[in-house]
Amino acid sequence: LAAADPRVLALAAQVTESREQDIPLLLLKLKGILNSASLGCEESRKIKQDIYDYDLARYCMLVLRQDHSRLRGGWATAAQLAEILSHCCVGLEVKEDPEEFYKKFLPSAVDTLLFLGRRLQARFIRAVKDEEKQDFLRWFQTVADAICWLFGGHIQLAACVLQNGHFLKLLITDDVETAITMMSVLHNSLRVNSSVLLQVDEGSLHSVLDELVYKLSSTTNPVIGNAATKLLLLVAKFCKQLVKLLAARYKGLKGLLSKQWTGKGFDRDLSQLLDLLYSEQSNGKTEMQRQHQAACIIQAVWRGFQTRKRLKKLPQAVITLQRSFRAKREQELQHFKKQKEDEALKLQMQLQRQRAMRLFHERQLALLEIIHASQVNKYMEEMEGKSALTIQRFWRGYRARRNFHQRRQSLKEYKAAVIIQRAACKFLEKRRRRRPLSPWKDPKGLTDEQRLALQQKVDDYIKLHPASQMSEEMSKELHMQAQEKLAQFLLRSRLDQRAAQRRETLLAQVNTDVELLMNAPGLAETTEKDLDVFMSRSIPVATKARQTHNTMLKYTRWPWWKKLGDEFEEDDVIPDDALNAELGTLFIGGRK
């Protein structure tokens, strides 16, 4: 192997040992090294190979990614480094790991240059001074020339440039100078690789064409119009397949070109583009006419087939229509007949009701003539009572039937739940009986090693947590104190229990006395029996017991319709509401 260029070696050593701020200025020395050899000779390729092997080209890409407004040399240094990077890549043939160079390094270099172009374009647009704007424009054009030089040396990079998102954003701008520069880059890519637009994806292709057509429609600047027209003409010449896309996607493009851009100084290119579009339109019209005629023939054949098919189905359709009409007419006649019967029945019931009312009034008048005048009021009261009883009987019967129907569903659910529970209990009992008893297994004993390890853990715990020592006298004294406190607590709880019983007894006695006083007669009507009630304690208890017994007997004699809500209660349970009034204030005699 030939020795590396000493200048490259020295520069690589300086870059490695220098500070980050000094690296851009050091990398500018590569320009002198590259210019020292004639372009295309073996020495130039050797220098480029050394620069790539010692990663100086990668250093250039890393530096170009930085913000040069804070670095020494500024954006002028960045533009020169971009030019150096493109010259290093063109004419370089990597023999060791070429896939790394062509698939990763070169696309990364293109992306870095386009990213630098976006930064310069943004600062050019924001610049206020004319001198500053001219500097940024010059640097931007330098970077654009570096991109063109790069994909000129490597044709496959043209598609990579057009598909890059930075390129589309650079092209989509309202600034005239930078837009012209980017359209020149696109023009050079088409010159280098005429089929590049067929290699890119459909989204990128449509974005580029949309931007060119938009520039033609949104501006009146002849420079922009000339550049966009030349680009479209170049696209139409090199890629015949894209002429159909232009004619189909942009239907108003021909009118726009002929009306807005005629006589602007580039009529020759404009007329060539219009001729290509009109020729494609004529070819398209012939094809459309042929397709139209074919569609008409297909439609005529299909309509004839559909008509013949309908004519074959016509008799069956007529029969179905007649059947449905007769069924509907019969349904309407039945409905009309039922309506007339309902009206006749309603009228007949009304007449019967009127006739019954008339007979009832005649009978009432006849009875009033027979009954003596002094007995009329009594008779009317009896009739009102019977009427009220009849109304009540019908109402209670209706309410009972309604409640029964409402509770039928709940009763069914209750019975179903009982049946399911009974079946589940039987199933569980059968399975419990069938299950064999598991044989008794003795617990596994500890081995000697486990017993020793466990004893060691116990000893260690006792050492870490020693128990407090207490003498026998202190233990006895503590025991005596606990016994005394326990005796005091038991005595106090017994006294409290007796006091609570006494309070309850006195409260019951007061309630009984209050109720007796409230029910007692006045002093003028008081008898000796009333005095005995207050003098003796057994008489009020017997009275309350008798009242309670009468209440229970009265409940057992209730009619069945009053007990409809008690199907799920026990037979010997009496509702609390019936006994609260009787037992709430009953005094059970006890010790005073």
Question: What single letter denotes the amino acid at residue 431?
Answer: R
Which CA distances in Å does 100 have to 97, 123, 495? 6, 34, 101
| Tens digits of residue pLDDT in 82-115 | 888 888 888 777 777 778 878 888 888 888 888 8
pLDDT at 223 over 70: yes
pLDDT at 437: 55
Angle formed by the axes of helices 6-17 and 56-64, nearest 10°: 40
Domain ranges of the chain: 6-200
User: Are the beta carbons of 56 and 11 closer than 8 angstroms?
Assistant: yes
pLDDT at 198 over 90: no
Given 3.40.50, 1.10.287, 1.25.10, 1.10.3470, which CATH number is that of 6-200?
Answer: 1.25.10
For residue 588, name the pLDDT band (cuts at 50, 70, 90).
very low
User: Are the beta carbons of 180 and 224 closer than 8 angstroms?
Assistant: yes
Mean of pLDDT values over 33-61: 76
What is the rounded CA–CA span in Å between residue 473 and residue 137? 107
For residue 396, name the pLDDT band (cuts at 50, 70, 90).
very high
For 30, counting Cβ atoms within 10 Å of its Cβ (0-12 exposed, 13-18 middle, 19+ buried), the class is buried
Residues 45, 48, 52: CA angle, nearest 5 degrees: 135
pLDDT at 344 over 80: yes
- Express as a percent the part of the chain with pLDDT over 90: 14
**What does the DSSP assignment read for 196-256?**
HHHHS-HHHHHHHHHHHHHHHHH---HHHHHHHHHHHHHHHHH-THHHHHHHHH-TTHHHH
Q: What is the DSSP letter of 540?
A: H
pLDDT at 438: 54
| Tens digits of residue pLDDT in 252-311 | 777 777 777 777 777 787 777 777 777 766 555 556 667 778 888 899 899 999 988 888
Q: Tokens in use for 105?
A: 């390094």
pLDDT at 582: 43
Only one residue has tokens 């050797």, namely 46
Q: Which of 246-260, 377-391, 448-462, 481-495 has the lowest mean pLDDT?
A: 246-260
The count of other CB atoms within 10 Å of the CB of residue 471 is 8
For residue 470, name the pLDDT band (cuts at 50, 70, 90).
confident
Contacts of 5 (CB under 8 A, 6+ apart): 33, 46, 47, 50
pLDDT at 489: 92
pLDDT at 460 over 80: yes
For residue 338, name the pLDDT band (cuts at 50, 70, 90).
very high
What is the rounded CA–CA span in Å between residue 428 and residue 430? 5
Provide the mean pLDDT of the chain: 79
Mean of pLDDT values over 126-137: 85
Q: Tokens in use for 563?
A: 């007990």
Q: Tokens in use for 425?
A: 């209990």
pLDDT at 585: 42
Give, for 288, the enclosing helix (H) or strand (E).
helix 267-370
pLDDT at 393 over 50: yes
pLDDT at 481 over 50: yes
**What does the DSSP assignment read for 89-152?**
HTT----SSHHHIIIIIHHHHHHHHHHHHHHHHHHHHH--SHHHHHHHHHHHHHHHHHHHHHHH
Q: Tokens in use for 130?
A: 């004319």
Which CA distances in Å does 424 have to 136, 411, 496? 91, 20, 51
